[in-house]
Chain A
Amino acid sequence: MSTDAAATIDLEAGSGGPAERWPVYQWIERLAGWGALAVVGVGAAVIAGWALGIETLKRLRPDLVAMNPATALCLVLAGVSLWLRVTPGASRGRVALGRVAAACVVAIGAARLAAYILGSEAGIDALLTMGGAADPTGGPNRMAPNTALCLMLCGGALLTFDAPRRWLARTGDALAVMGATVALLAALGYLYHVDALYRVGPLIPMAVHTSLALLALSACTLLARPEVGLVGIVASRSAGGVMARRLLPAITGAVVLLSWLRLEGERAGLYEKEFGVALMAASMIALSVGFIVACAARLNHADEERAAAQRALERVNDELEERVQERTADLLRSNRELEQFAYVASHDLQEPLRMVGSYLQLLERRYKGKLDEEADEFIAFAVDGATRMKQLINDLLTFSRVGRRGGAMSPTDLGEAARQAMLDLRALLEESGAEVHLGALPTVRADPTQMRQLFMNLIGNAVKFRGMQKPRIEIGAERRGGAWEVWVTDNGIGIDPKYAERVFEIFQRLHSREEYPGTGIGLAICKKIVERHGGQIRVRPAEGGGSTFTFTLPVQESRHDRASRAA
């Protein structure tokens, strides 16, 4: 939790504040900042009062106890520590300074408390009273024990800021709450004239402005981290936060005010104790009921709005889902239609082409040498054209079949598919003297026939586009995250990287038919096969010339893998 808060602060320091931050957090931080400054101000004023001998600053009223200068110093230190923490721009130096200040406060408070326990008169407060005028209590001015305790608690809370552990941050909250309780008791003691609340036994009491300053200090320490802990609940943008922000100040204020009124009325003799209690009970009930009903009404309203918004959202979601499904179905249909079209077109083109080719051949067969030389040449060109067109149409048919007539996916041993492809290419491999090194290949979920075709095309290409040396082909695989990466590397003529995309397009060729025969379908089929299996294929230059074709295929997940990941 505290690390989250720290991260937010860092982000703020770096980018000038994230745009979407809940504004209440910012208000609370600002409030804590102003509170810290006020605490520093009170402390500084009292120190000035001691230095310049201004009694009003020291004790507010002549009959009240003065704030000890050590207490004032602690207030300044704690206020500065808090202020450094809540204002943006947390540098390492500021954090360190804040910690040192907080540690000093803890040390002074602890020293004073220890002195009380040990019965010692020594202490920094004794040094700082500058000769110290006697107080109305008669004794020398000291830091009161409850003040020392409260300062220690607040300093401790300030030290837990930026603690990496959650329990430490929670401890900080607890310390601040305890400190606030001590200060609040003292403040209420002054408000209700209850001596025992601001004074411990016969010892020197906490000064009235000390109690108010400590109350502000501990409250602002709590508020300094609005996103976590107790304040996190109150500051939350959820319904609970809204309710807490409304009820807490109202009810706290009402309780303090009503109690004071009751007490003052009783003391003035306006009514008896029993009457006062009844009056207070009645007014508390009335006020609480009023607050709670108003709050409940608001929450109900918010909840209804939220429910309506959720219904609207669900409706929109449903519509969107429906539209996505429709669009997907449309796409699938149009894709199927396109493949069907390619198939039908190429199939129906075959018929007339067969006629053209057959009769041209018949013409060649019957009349070769009987017409003049030019006629023979024309016929030869026509036969060649028809033969090439036949090849193109066949390739187109094969290409359209990859998607249209793809077989079922089953666990396929890629090593076996590659060996099958090498068997199919045996004549070519033997004739060219090619060496094929087949590494370990995985078993994937795939269409076995198409895997065999894929290897056949890649190995066939590697041999076809060989250079001066004997073809050397290496096939291997490596697992990369959720996919297998399979490569086929050759030592052939290579492919210029600027054509690395183009070679996979249908009927795209980089060489003339005289150099290398073919229609330019092989790699387009490879690409289609790989994409049908949810993978990608690309080519890059191999080390020392040649090319490396790499394709990816998703790793086949066993049922066990899936189950363990879902858990």
Chain B
Amino acid sequence: MTGRAGRHDPIEILLVEDSPGDVRLTREALREAKVANRLHVVGDGAEALDFLARRGRHAAAPRPDLILLDLNLPKIGGREVLASIKGDEDLKRIPVIVLTTSDAEADILDSYGLHANCYLVKPVDVDRFFEQVRTIEGFWLSIVKLPVASQSGSAAA
């Protein structure tokens, strides 16, 4: 696993989202993105944790460079997924972007309290949604300098 070390490899993005409509919209938006990316989609929190731990049918899953996390998920909710990721020595370095419809103060506070890297409210307007995905992609995948991913979490740099 080399992560983003080689600039030519596509970026691995994990989208945790249960609504097929939103998945498709995100996919469409990312298709127009500049950076080559590969989108992995899981429909609930339990599967997200399986993906990250490479359990079951996700045994061959790559380590994502970026996680887009919805808060309202079946089985295991977005908050628990966020807590598990940020509680894991290795996984906590992966930037997690909470992407949800809720603009409730409590959700925003909770998410940052659990060390979400940023919190975004999905715009209702499709043009603005595309714009938002482009911004995420541009900022997190092109501008921000992230640690080189490693499996143990101690072999960074």
**Chain A: residues with CB nearer than 8 A to chain B?**
350-351, 353-355, 357-359, 361-362, 365, 390
**Chain B: residues with CB nearer than 8 A to chain A?**
19, 21-22, 25, 28, 101, 122, 124-127, 129
A355–B125 alpha-carbon span in the complex (Å): 10
Q: Are B25 and A390 in contact (CB under 8 A)?
A: no
Q: Are B101 and A358 in contact (CB under 8 A)?
A: no
- Nearest residue (CB) in A for B21 is A355
Q: Are B122 and A354 in contact (CB under 8 A)?
A: yes
- Nearest residue (CB) in A for B127 is A361
Task: For the complex formed, measure the closest distance between the CB of A429 and the CB atoms of chain B, giving whole angstroms.
Answer: 27
Q: A358-B124, A359-B25 are in contact. List 13 more A-B contacts (CB 8 A).
A: A350-B124, A354-B101, A354-B122, A355-B19, A357-B125, A357-B126, A358-B21, A359-B126, A361-B126, A361-B127, A362-B25, A365-B127, A390-B124
Q: Are A362 and B28 in contact (CB under 8 A)?
A: yes
Could you show 13 A-B contacts with beta carbons less than 8 Å apart?
A351-B19, A351-B101, A353-B124, A354-B122, A357-B126, A358-B21, A358-B25, A359-B126, A361-B125, A361-B126, A362-B25, A365-B126, A390-B124
Which residues in A have their C-beta under 8 angstroms from that of B101?
A: 350-351, 354
Task: For the complex formed, measure the closest distance between the CB of A133 and the CB atoms of chain B, giving whole angstroms.
Answer: 113
Which residues in A have their C-beta under 8 angstroms from that of B19?
A: 351, 355
Task: For the complex formed, measure the closest distance between the CB of B109 and the CB atoms of chain A, giving whole angstroms.
Answer: 15
- Of A350, A351, A353, A358, the residue contacting B126 (CB under 8 A) is A358
Counting chain B CB atoms within 10 Å of each CB, the highest count among A350, A353, A361 belongs to A361
A365–B32 alpha-carbon span in the complex (Å): 13
A350–B103 alpha-carbon span in the complex (Å): 12
A361–B28 alpha-carbon span in the complex (Å): 13
Which residues in B have their C-beta under 8 angstroms from that of A390?
A: 124
Task: For the complex formed, measure the closest distance between the CB of B127 and the CB atoms of chain A, giving whole angstroms.
Answer: 7
A1–B101 alpha-carbon span in the complex (Å): 74
Counting chain B CB atoms within 10 Å of each CB, the highest count among A354, A355, A357, A390 belongs to A354
Which residues in B have their C-beta under 8 angstroms from that of A359?
A: 21, 25, 126
A390–B25 alpha-carbon span in the complex (Å): 19
Which residues in B have their C-beta under 8 angstroms from that of A354?
A: 101, 122, 124
Q: Are B126 and A362 in contact (CB under 8 A)?
A: yes
- Nearest residue (CB) in B for A355 is B21
- Nearest residue (CB) in B for A365 is B126
Counting chain A CB atoms within 10 Å of each CB, the highest count among B22, B101, B124 belongs to B124
Which residues in A have their C-beta under 8 angstroms from that of B126?
A: 357-359, 361-362, 365
A71–B135 alpha-carbon span in the complex (Å): 118
Counting chain B CB atoms within 10 Å of each CB, the highest count among A353, A358, A361 belongs to A358
Task: For the complex formed, measure the closest distance between the CB of B11 and the CB atoms of chain A, giving whole angstroms.
Answer: 23
Which residues in A have their C-beta under 8 angstroms from that of B122?
A: 354
Which residues in A have their C-beta under 8 angstroms from that of B28?
A: 362
Which residues in A have their C-beta under 8 angstroms from that of B129?
A: 358
Task: For the complex formed, measure the closest distance between the CB of B53 and the CB atoms of chain A, giving whole angstroms.
Answer: 30
Which residues in A have their C-beta under 8 angstroms from that of B127?
A: 361, 365
A355–B25 alpha-carbon span in the complex (Å): 9
Q: Are B25 and A357 in contact (CB under 8 A)?
A: no
A350–B21 alpha-carbon span in the complex (Å): 14
- Nearest residue (CB) in B for A363 is B126
User: Given the interface contacts A350-B101, A351-B101, A362-B28, does A357 sit within 8 Å of B21 by beta carbon?
Assistant: no
A126–B101 alpha-carbon span in the complex (Å): 115
A358–B127 alpha-carbon span in the complex (Å): 9
A17–B25 alpha-carbon span in the complex (Å): 85
Which residues in B have their C-beta under 8 angstroms from that of A353?
A: 124
A365–B125 alpha-carbon span in the complex (Å): 12
Which residues in B have their C-beta under 8 angstroms from that of A358?
A: 21, 25, 124, 126, 129
A358–B20 alpha-carbon span in the complex (Å): 13
A538–B122 alpha-carbon span in the complex (Å): 39
Task: For the complex formed, measure the closest distance between the CB of A356 and the CB atoms of chain B, giving whole angstroms.
Answer: 9
Task: For the complex formed, measure the closest distance between the CB of A35 and the CB atoms of chain B, giving whole angstroms.
Answer: 84
Task: For the complex formed, measure the closest distance between the CB of A399 and the CB atoms of chain B, giving whole angstroms.
Answer: 16
Task: For the complex formed, measure the closest distance between the CB of B119 and the CB atoms of chain A, giving whole angstroms.
Answer: 18
A91–B127 alpha-carbon span in the complex (Å): 90
Which residues in B have their C-beta under 8 angstroms from that of A357?
A: 124-126
- Nearest residue (CB) in A for B29 is A362
Task: For the complex formed, measure the closest distance between the CB of B36 and the CB atoms of chain A, giving whole angstroms.
Answer: 22
Task: For the complex formed, measure the closest distance between the CB of B22 and the CB atoms of chain A, giving whole angstroms.
Answer: 8
Task: For the complex formed, measure the closest distance between the CB of A257 and the CB atoms of chain B, giving whole angstroms.
Answer: 92
Which residues in A have their C-beta under 8 angstroms from that of B124?
A: 350, 353-354, 357-358, 390
Task: For the complex formed, measure the closest distance between the CB of B25 and the CB atoms of chain A, giving whole angstroms.
Answer: 6
- Nearest residue (CB) in B for A351 is B101
A353–B122 alpha-carbon span in the complex (Å): 13
A86–B145 alpha-carbon span in the complex (Å): 107
- Nearest residue (CB) in B for A353 is B124
A362–B126 alpha-carbon span in the complex (Å): 7
Task: For the complex formed, measure the closest distance between the CB of A144 and the CB atoms of chain B, giving whole angstroms.
Answer: 100
A224–B25 alpha-carbon span in the complex (Å): 97
A361–B124 alpha-carbon span in the complex (Å): 10
Task: For the complex formed, measure the closest distance between the CB of A363 and the CB atoms of chain B, giving whole angstroms.
Answer: 10
The 9 lowest CB-CB distance pairs between A and B, nearest first, are A361-B126, A355-B21, A358-B126, A354-B124, A362-B126, A358-B25, A390-B124, A357-B124, A351-B101
Task: For the complex formed, measure the closest distance between the CB of A546 and the CB atoms of chain B, giving whole angstroms.
Answer: 36
Which residues in B have their C-beta under 8 angstroms from that of A365?
A: 126-127
A351–B100 alpha-carbon span in the complex (Å): 11
A390–B101 alpha-carbon span in the complex (Å): 14
Task: For the complex formed, measure the closest distance between the CB of A344 and the CB atoms of chain B, giving whole angstroms.
Answer: 12
Task: For the complex formed, measure the closest distance between the CB of B66 and the CB atoms of chain A, giving whole angstroms.
Answer: 22
- Nearest residue (CB) in B for A362 is B126
A365–B25 alpha-carbon span in the complex (Å): 13
- Nearest residue (CB) in A for B22 is A355
A443–B81 alpha-carbon span in the complex (Å): 48
Which residues in A have their C-beta under 8 angstroms from that of B25?
A: 358-359, 362
A362–B127 alpha-carbon span in the complex (Å): 8
Which residues in A have their C-beta under 8 angstroms from that of B22?
A: 355
Task: For the complex formed, measure the closest distance between the CB of A366 and the CB atoms of chain B, giving whole angstroms.
Answer: 9
A358–B101 alpha-carbon span in the complex (Å): 13
A30–B105 alpha-carbon span in the complex (Å): 79
Which residues in B have their C-beta under 8 angstroms from that of A351?
A: 19, 101
Task: For the complex formed, measure the closest distance between the CB of B134 and the CB atoms of chain A, giving whole angstroms.
Answer: 14
Task: For the complex formed, measure the closest distance between the CB of A157 and the CB atoms of chain B, giving whole angstroms.
Answer: 81
Which residues in B have their C-beta under 8 angstroms from that of A362?
A: 25, 28, 126
Task: For the complex formed, measure the closest distance between the CB of B124 and the CB atoms of chain A, giving whole angstroms.
Answer: 5
Task: For the complex formed, measure the closest distance between the CB of A391 and the CB atoms of chain B, giving whole angstroms.
Answer: 10
Task: For the complex formed, measure the closest distance between the CB of B43 and the CB atoms of chain A, giving whole angstroms.
Answer: 16
